[in-house]
Amino acid sequence: MSEKVLMKGNEAIAEAAISCGCRHYFGYPITPQTEIAAYMAKRMPKIGGTFLQAESEIAAINMVIGAASAGVRVMTSSSSPGVSLKSEGISYMAGCDLPALIVNVQRGGPGLGGIQPSQSDYFQATRGGGHGDYHLLVLAPASVQEMAAMTVRAFDLADKYRMPCMLLADGTMGQMMEPVELGESTGGTVDKPWALTGTGMSRKHNIINSLSLTPDELERWNVDRYARYAKVERDEVLYEEYLCDDAEIVVVGFGIAARVAKNAVNAARAEGIKAGMFRPITLWPFPKKAMFERAKTARAFISVELSMGQMIEDIELAVRCTRPVTLCSRVGGMIPSPAEVKKSIEDAHAKLDGRN
């Protein structure tokens, strides 16, 4: 399939997953991501795959653990409250070094919250979400095309680094329709000698496990895992810069917020304000090196978020507080308008006078 088709973001994720060899999906219905499950329910039986609606998000993620242990490409998807329920299993996956894709099409919280778009699971996604020292590799698409492309990338990275990857989208990205071009099948080529296939009476039994009651052994497992994370931080950072080279004000946003930010930057430029946009594509690893470099030329940063201000902390850490960082955000399912973002650019610009 290489012609352009019009698809919902959620459906693009599902079809992209199938295109790269994912034949196992376990999920539980929750708005605004249920189209992924519905799409899988239709497609999987026709291609010899498994779609299974679990009794809970908890069961679904544990089914993912089972299938990942068996060495196949597997995914689940949910939205914010459901991802909280999956967090126990995600911690186990990290502790067992199991590759899989977890999609979070975020909605407003906390608690049951709402069903409209949000980015308020940023902390949960980028800090791991469950117990223990671990990270997910977190990708944040900003178009339906990227929903598809990053699904494939997430599977590849999960296999490469033996870690769970998360696609962090939001209700807007999941529901909106855009033209998308789906690539050819790429995946499933990584050798998995650790997988549970049965010994065939020809090798020692494989054990997949996160338990060690020996402190120095458990410490070593953690240290080894973080050595792998260091490689991810070195090699897998992705970001986009738009009109940043001469920008005095840099607006930072991911996903849907970046699209609004881009419009606001254009509007500000039309009025002579040198604004640019910086879009982290990997949220973990956060593009902190590139942002630190950008802080050498930019004079102020604005974090545009659909949360009360979560990514702003990573921006402040990345620029090491060498530049002022302000927040432009809406929550509860609201999205900042281009006018609101432009106003925050103007405010930041007005405060520049007298500063170097």
Partner 1 sequence: MTTVFDRPHALTDVPMHYCPGCGHGIIHRLVAEAIDSLGIEGKTVGVASVGCSVFAYNYFNVDMVQAAHGRAPAVATGVKRARPENIVFTYQGDGDLAAIGTAETVHSAARGENITVIFVNNAIYGMTGGQMAPTSLPGQVTQTSPYGRDVSAVGYPVKVCEMLSQLDGPAYIERVAINSVKNIRAAGRAIKKAFRYQTEGKGFSLIEVVSTCPTNWGMTPAKAMKWAEENMIPYYPLGVYKDKYAGDAEKAR
Residue 152 to residue 22: CA distance in whole angstroms: 9
Residue 218 sits in the site that holds partner 1 (CB under 8 A): no
Number of residues in contact with partner 1, rule: CB under 8 A?
Answer: 40
Q: Which residue carries 């529901």 as its tokens?
A: 175
> Which residues within the stretch 252-281 sit at the binding site for partner 1 (CB under 8 A)?
none
- The CA distance from 153 to 160, in Å, is 10
Q: Which of 115, 190, 208, 317 binds partner 1 (CB under 8 A)?
A: 208
Kindly tell me the sign of the dihedral angle through the C-alpha atoms of 298, 302, 303, 306: negative
Q: Binding partner 1 by CB under 8 A: which of 200, 215, 272, 354?
A: 200
Write the burial class of residue 98 (CB in 10 Å: 0-12 exposed, 13-18 middle, 19+ buried): buried
Work out which of 12, 14, 37, 63 binds partner 1, going by CB under 8 A.
63
Look at phi and psi of residue 86 and say left if phi exceeds 0, alpha if psi is from -120 to 50, else beta: alpha
Residue 344 to residue 353: CA distance in whole angstroms: 15
Interaction of residue 210 with partner 1, rule CB under 8 A: yes
Residue 64 sits in the site that holds partner 1 (CB under 8 A): yes
Exactly one of 2, 47, 207, 296 binds partner 1 (CB under 8 A); that residue is 207
Q: What is the Cα–Cα distance from 173 to 117, expressed in whole angstroms?
A: 8
Strand partners, 209: none
Please pick, from the candidates 54, 190, 317, 352, the single residue that binds partner 1 as defined by CB under 8 A.
Answer: 54
Residue 32: name the closest of 65, 77, 71 by CA: 77
Determine, following the binding rule CB under 8 A, whether residue 162 of this chain makes contact with partner 1.
Answer: no
Asked if residue 297 binds partner 1 (CB under 8 A), the reply is no
Is residue 50 within 8 Å of residue 77, measured between CB atoms? no
Look up residue 283 and give its two tokens.
């949220």
By CB under 8 A, residue 350 contacts partner 1: no
Give, as one character, the DSSP assignment of residue 175: H
Give the x/- contact pattern for partner 1 in 87-126, rule: CB under 8 A.
-xx--x---x------------------------------
Considering only 10, 33, 62, 104, the residue that binds partner 1 (CB under 8 A) is: 62
Could you tell me if residue 132 is left (phi over 0), alpha (psi between -120 and 50 degrees) or otherwise beta?
left
Our CB check for partner 1 shows the closer of 42 and 131 to be 131
When asked if residue 72 is in the footprint of partner 1 (CB under 8 A), the reply is: yes
- Check binding of 74 to partner 1 (CB under 8 A): yes
Question: Stretches 28-36, 196-204, 278-286, 299-307: which one binds partner 1 (CB under 8 A)?
Answer: 196-204
Does 285 sit behind a cis peptide bond, omega within 30 degrees of 0 on the bond before it? Answer: yes
209 belongs to the binding site for partner 1 (CB under 8 A): yes
47 contacts partner 1 (rule: CB under 8 A): no
User: How many residues would you count in the chain?
Assistant: 356
Report if residue 211 touches partner 1, rule: CB under 8 A. Answer: yes
State which residue, 193 or 354, has the beta carbon closest to partner 1. Answer: 193
Nearer to partner 1, 70 or 317 (CB): 70
Cβ distance 253 to 279 under 8 Å?
A: yes
For partner 1, the binding residues (CB under 8 A) are 24, 26, 50, 52, 54-56, 58-60, 62-72, 74, 88-89, 92, 96, 196-202, 205-211
